[in-house]
Structure 1
Amino acid sequence: MADTFKYRIDHHGSLIRPAEVLTARDRHAAGELDAAGLRAVEDDAIAEAVRFQRKLRLSVVTDGDFRRADFRSAVLGAVHGFRRTGETDKYGRAAWLAAEELKADGPLVADDVARLAELTGAAAPKATLPSAAYLAATTFDPAGPYRSPVELGEALAAIVRAEIEALIARGVRLVQLNNFRYQAYLFGGGGQPLTLDEAIAIDAAAVAVAERPEGFRIGVCPTHRAADVDAGAAAKLFGELPVDRWVLPYDQGTKGEIDLLRAVPADRDAALGIVSPRVAALEDIDVIMDRMDVAAELKDIEDIAVTPSAGFADTAGNAEISADDQRRKLIHVETIARMCWGNEL
């Protein structure tokens, strides 16, 4: 059995930001609201988000990324040396480069999420970070201080590892790293600045924390979609990157989703994304349970968790469904969990 602490009702971390948070951030950017005023609005919204998650009896609780612009901001917004280029990527997110030597003066988000440990009750505080290899692949600047994406990745691995250790010290018990560049290797894409071996080595260095308290787990989300899987790449990634949990899409019923799950080693957990945060309609429960039956044939059901297939708002203000829809989706995930495991959660 891979994991004594199952965290079976999971979610990626980002939640739909309330209108008052988005308005406060706009006012702060315009100079109409000071930092203390913005933080007070965020504090109130986070406290309400925690109450919302606890009412749903989720296994993990997050701050919804309410203080951050997107899933990368935990590092990009707090580490000196990154520079916004003024351009945007194909997802509409601001583009950044590592233009100077990177330096973190202290914890990046650990102090911000520490309050979760005071608010969560029985649920585990969770934090989500971009992986070091993902950032190295997306922010390397040939004109910058680092000679290669690998050298940049090594510097980022040290920063991410220090942050994970700070999160542990503040009571966080589940950390999820996101590296969506892994899908290029899993599905046969090319053109990546890092080889798969290089990316694995960088992220492995980032998760090599000095001490792991009982119940602490690290998961990695390598993709939000599934296509034709390169079995060799999947076996290498899932087998060689030393994390506890792989967070995988499982809401479309495709062969690629099955192949990804099949590649997860027996001693690792799989958190299966059984509902989509991109469409409002609820997935048919019978269809989901049929898919869970298939999953249980491939992997011990005791080593599986359920989750939405992605964050609800990985970029602030860019949710594709409503807050009411989000609630229904999370209730759906909880319902499936209790159908699979009863109250043994």
Structure 2
Amino acid sequence: MIPAYRADHVGSLLRPRELLAARWRGVPAEELSAIEDRYVLRLLAQQQMLGLDVFTDGELRRSNFMSNFTDAVEGLDLDGAVSRRWDASKRDSRVPVSNVTGVVVSKLHQRRGLTTNELPFLIQRSPGPFKITLPSATQFPAIAYKRGVSDAAYASHSELLWDIVSIVKAEVAALAQAGVPYIQIDAPRYSYYIDEKWRGWMQSEMGVDPEAALDEAIAADNACLDAGRRDGVTLAIHLCRGNNRSHWYAEGGYDAIAEKLFSSLNADRFLLEYDDERSGSFDPLRFVPHGKFVVLGLVTSKTPTLESVETLRARVDEASRYVPLEHLALSPQCGFASTMEGNILTEEQQWAKLERVVQTARQIWG
């Protein structure tokens, strides 16, 4: 039986100033690890106090949500990163240093496990069920493949994708084997398929057909999800439209991909962004198969404005017209710190939003 985890959250949390300062100073690894341990314990205690149903380490040991991959493999040139400065939110579009992914310059070689520096501490110290997040393999071909450079190692985006799948798939299997109760794949690139601007970019810049690429993306994520299939393990996928420094890069409802996506992805839980009008209506949820959970990302992690319990309850009620209430849960739409610089709100405002998630979930589901 899949746990409900009614009061959920996507994973990343704002970094304390001391930790950010230590990273920027480049303190020795042992000293940095001790600082991380101290603040992870504080985060775990705060999550427990609020009553969240699942715990994370806030991704405090990462520079961004996918750096556990880029830190664990060789073959990426961080100095030659592909420019990704288009920002539909019309704000400052400079990319933080911590968001640099790098360019593939040689065959990828894995040096260590992706979560080697995270998992043991959570196993020992988490006060309850915890989740480990991993970036989708589909995240990298669009942003790390540079024509004239990467094609010396990989003939196509697809060839690179499936090499990355082998790495992520092995990590998911290892996490499941270790007894991790909740494994979440973060997959922002599905937003490309719902936004006409990005569909055009895929055709012109990547030279791929969006529909064929969508089919391949689903197959790639399924290969990774299926590797973790075992009793007691919840497998989830999080879909968003951009979150870096309170920015966003894609818009549109799930309508264009909902039938294929929800019926084909082998996840137990879909964590979906529904915090503003860019996300569209709940109507696409009619394609979610019976028995699967939908985590409604109704609380925004981008701005300090605190949603009311009444508004959240009304929206959950609306969504229950498409997915039974017993198969719904609540969360913020994304993490609070996709990069270590974090979104533009305070830690106090972050905790208030997570407390609101818990308050609302308890009123709805008990």
**TM-score (normalizing by structure 1):** 0.90
> Which of 81, 84, 103 is matched with 1:89 structurally?
84
The secondary structure found in structure 2 opposite 1:61 is: coil
The secondary structure found in structure 1 opposite 2:118 is: helix
Q: How many Å separate the matches in 2 of 1:119 and 1:311?
A: 21
* Residue equivalent to 2:290: 266
Q: Which amino acid is 2:111 matched to?
A: D
Gaps of 5+ in 1: none
Matched, 1:170 2:178: yes
Matched, 1:59 2:53: yes
Q: How many Å separate the matches in 2 of 1:107 and 1:287?
A: 42
C-alpha spacing 1:254/1:137, structure 2 compared with 1 (3 Å): closer
> Which of 185, 188, 191 is matched with 1:183 structurally?
191
Q: Give, in angstroms, the shift of residue 26 of structure 1.
A: 1.4
C-alpha spacing 1:251/1:110, structure 2 compared with 1 (3 Å): same
Matched, 1:160 2:160: no
Q: Give, in angstroms, the shift of residue 252 of structure 1.
A: 2.6
The question of whether the paired residues in 1 share the 8 Å contact of 2:80 and 2:103 is answered with no
> Which of 253, 269, 275 is matched with 1:245 structurally?
269
The question of whether the paired residues in 1 share the 8 Å contact of 2:8 and 2:53 is answered with yes
Q: How many Å separate the matches in 2 of 1:18 and 1:260?
A: 38
The secondary structure found in structure 1 opposite 2:140 is: helix
* Residue equivalent to 2:358: 334
The secondary structure found in structure 2 opposite 1:176 is: strand
Q: Give, in angstroms, the shift of residue 110 of structure 1.
A: 4.0
> Which of 326, 337, 340 is matched with 1:302 structurally?
326
Matched, 1:126 2:131: yes
The question of whether the paired residues in 1 share the 8 Å contact of 2:304 and 2:349 is answered with yes
- Please list, as runs of the form range in 1=range in 2, the aligned pairs for 1:283-322 lying within 5 A after superposition: 283-322=307-346
Equivalent pairs counted in the alignment come to 334
CA RMSD of aligned residues (A): 2.0
* Residue equivalent to 1:282: 306
Q: How many Å separate the matches in 1 of 2:283 and 2:116?
A: 35
* Residue equivalent to 1:103: 109
The question of whether the paired residues in 1 share the 8 Å contact of 2:254 and 2:279 is answered with no
Q: How many Å separate the matches in 1 of 2:129 and 2:66?
A: 22
Percent pairwise identity: 33
The question of whether the paired residues in 2 share the 8 Å contact of 1:207 and 1:242 is answered with yes
What are the superposed Cα offsets for residues 40-65 of structure 1, whole Å, 9 maximum, x if unpaired?
11111111111111111211111111
Matched, 1:4 2:2: yes
What are the superposed Cα offsets for residues 97-152 of structure 1, whole Å, 9 maximum, x if unpaired?
1211112133111442232122223x311111110011122212332201111111
**TM-score (normalizing by structure 2):** 0.85
Q: How many Å separate the matches in 1 of 2:188 and 2:50?
A: 28
Q: Give, in angstroms, the shift of residue 179 of structure 1.
A: 1.8
* Residue equivalent to 2:67: 73
Q: Give, in angstroms, the shift of residue 220 of structure 1.
A: 1.3
* Residue equivalent to 2:214: 196
Q: How many Å separate the matches in 2 of 1:170 and 1:49?
A: 23
